[in-house]
Chain A
Amino acid sequence: MGIDLKTVKHISKLSRISLDDKKAKKLEADLNSIFSFIEKLNELNTENIEPLTSIAETTLQLRKDEIKIKNIRDQILKNSPEKNKDFFVVPKVVD
């Protein structure tokens, strides 16, 4: 099964990664070569096989939702590319 340029552009939209035409063309070639390699799995009949969702055989541990680290708001905000007082700033979303 081939992946065409239109599909590449659709995946780029879903991935929120902008692509120019040159990059999209290159990716089309790369993805086709990778997927032709992946298609090898179709040789294998997996009809009655249970999928392996987690390698850890224990059930996931639950813990109490407790605050352990306090008063780090300023440190966290420091990592933000754009902030205003106590808020993260993003481009305008409502008019």
Chain B
Amino acid sequence: MSDIIDLTLVELVSKIKEKKISSKEIISAYVERCEKSKKLNTFITTDFENALIKANEFDKNPNYEKKLPGIPLAVKDLFCTKNLRTTAGSKILSNFIPTYESTVTENLWNEGSILLGKLNCDEFAMGSSNETSFYGKVQSPVGKNLVPGGSSGGSASALAGRLTPATIGTDTGGSIRQPASFTGTVGLKPTYGSCSRYGIVAFASSLDQAGPMTNDVKDCALLFEVMSSYDKKDSTSVNFKRSNYLKNLNSSIKGKKIGIPKEYRVNDMPKIIEDLWQKGINIIKDAGAKIVDISLPNTKYALPAYYIVAPAEASSNLARYDGVKYGFRSKGTNLIDMYEKTRSEGFGNEVKRRIMIGTYVLSSGYYDAYYLKAQKVRKLIKNDFDEVYKKVDAILTPSTPSSAFAIGEKTDDPVSMYLNDIFTVPINLAGLPAISIPSGHDPKGHPLGLQIIGKAFDEQNIFNIAYFMEQQINFKSKIKDWWI
């Protein structure tokens, strides 16, 4: 059965539609591999028994009209799943059973997909290495004691380790694209408003977006098509015409104008990243597209602005965890004492740090100096993009300033951890779509990614460019099953 796990999502869908394979065969193959892969610590909660029951039901009464007929998917444990524990990687939600389903996962199940389980992530999606989860660190299939990136680290690890044919994550400042880059997989942060936020445990509401993580660009287009929908239950959901992204995939990029922002050429950028970027530029040039040098002058202010906006929104969103209606509760001598002990014991260090930053920047006397200032900087960053998009169709940058680092390497220095997201954060602040595609390896054999940033709601265009580049790059995973 080892061949099943080597198939892409699109290939699995056609095999099942051609009746060459049953849902039960697919799910059994994945369950078997998941059982052998516990060392990676990718799952927080598994739902294998139910998955096998649903596979049998599908095979008895198959509906081949669906886009993901009988296909198993594991999802980041930030999406609420009705009647199945949802933890957000936190102790404070360790026994939380949602009474409702997130819109994005509902969309997956409505198209015939079957849940395998809930994947590990940084606590409340706060982290860039999947080391802040209450449920333990996630190992990268790329190498022992290597981080898979974060916060969607369990998703990236499960996908690259072939424990799920595709997965979904969330991206507030790079949490899909950075782990995709670290594990040699494809990850899309869609335009803000494309995928409903309803039922996703909130981190920073003006930045959070759910997106697909897949083995290739075709799979990414298909999964995005299924996930994205207009949803009245999310007041920031945007009602635009969603197209058939997979069917419309077109790898001709001739005549397109691709911007190369000089500000992303940061000081002390490793040569390997610079070479990777140049390789991407050459591919685009050779295809008859035009390379345009552009400037996004406020790029260096994106990360500091993000570390005001995101914690401020987080401190407000996480105020709901008080140990009363759901979640973990600690004993206290009175109500306030109970709140304080519950939150102190229920949240991990990184989450507490960010709640404290957020509380401080929103506190009396500091609001104008920090939060208002950051919102103004955010406007300048968005203006930068608006300006360059008058001249170019898309922008090409590296996804991350380095390849994956070792577990424990950056945990003592929060700022050095935050710097991981230097190329991804500006895109969240501007609400734009961006995709990371695997584009090479460093000398140690660790994957590296390139990022293609598009105009708002122009996902089709970045899929097309990514599809073309993917064919030229012809990336081959070097992952050996070291954990089995």
Binding site for B on A (CB under 8 A): 3, 7-8, 11-12, 14-19, 27, 30-31, 33-35, 37-41, 44, 46, 49-56, 58, 60-61, 63, 69, 72, 75-76, 78-82, 88, 90-93
Contacts and interface: CB of A to CB of B under 8 A. Distances in A.
B144 interface: no
A52 B376 CA distance: 6
B238 A17 contact: no
Contacts of A15: 315, 343, 352, 355-356, 359
B232 A63 contact: yes
* Candidate in B95, B99, B382 with the most chain A CB atoms within 10 angstroms: B99
A23 to B, nearest CB: 8
A22 to B, nearest CB: 12
* Candidate in A11, A39, A52, A61 with the most chain B CB atoms within 10 angstroms: A52
B83 to A, nearest CB: 8
Nearest to A42: B373
Given A15-B343, A17-B343, A37-B307, A91 B99 contact: no
A52 B386 CA distance: 14
* Candidate in A33, A35, A38, A53 with the most chain B CB atoms within 10 angstroms: A38
Interface of B: 95-97, 99-100, 192-193, 206, 232, 235-239, 298, 300-301, 303-305, 307-308, 315, 319, 322-329, 332-341, 343-344, 347, 352-353, 355-357, 359-360, 363, 370, 372-380, 382, 413-415, 418, 430-431
B308 A88 contact: no
B415 A14 contact: no
Nearest to B230: A61
A24 to B, nearest CB: 10
B99 A76 contact: yes
Given A75-B97, A75-B99, A79-B99, 17 more contacts: A8-B356, A16-B319, A17-B355, A27-B353, A51-B372, A51-B375, A52-B378, A55-B193, A55-B431, A56-B236, A58-B238, A58-B239, A63-B232, A72-B99, A76-B325, A80-B324, A91-B338
Contacts of A54: 206, 236
A41 B305 contact: yes
A40 B301 contact: yes
Given A41-B301, A91-B334, A11 B232 contact: no
Task: Say what secondary structure dominates the interface of chain A.
Answer: loop
Contacts of A31: 353, 356-357, 360
B324 A16 contact: no
A46 B380 contact: yes
Given A46-B380, A49-B379, A90 B356 contact: no
Contact of B192 (A44, A55, A93): A55
Nearest to B346: A17
Contact of A40 (B300, B344, B347): B300
A73 to B, nearest CB: 10
Nearest to A47: B376
A41 B304 contact: yes
Nearest to A79: B326
B335 to A, nearest CB: 5
Contacts of B339: 16
A18 B379 CA distance: 36
Contact of A34 (B319, B327, B414): B414
B213 to A, nearest CB: 22
A3 B184 CA distance: 41
B313 to A, nearest CB: 12
Given A15-B356, A54-B236, A82 B414 contact: no
Contacts of A14: 359, 363
Contacts of B304: 37-41
A49 B376 CA distance: 6
A26 B327 CA distance: 27
Nearest to A48: B376
Contacts of A38: 304, 307-308, 370
Contacts of B357: 31, 34-35
Contact of B379 (A39, A51, A61): A51
B325 A88 contact: yes
B329 A81 contact: yes
A30 B414 contact: yes
Contact of B356 (A11, A33, A52, A78): A11
27 contacts: A3-B360, A11-B356, A15-B343, A15-B352, A16-B340, A17-B347, A18-B341, A18-B344, A33-B414, A34-B415, A38-B304, A40-B304, A41-B373, A51-B372, A55-B206, A55-B430, A55-B431, A56-B431, A63-B232, A75-B99, A76-B99, A76-B325, A81-B327, A91-B334, A91-B335, A91-B337, A93-B334
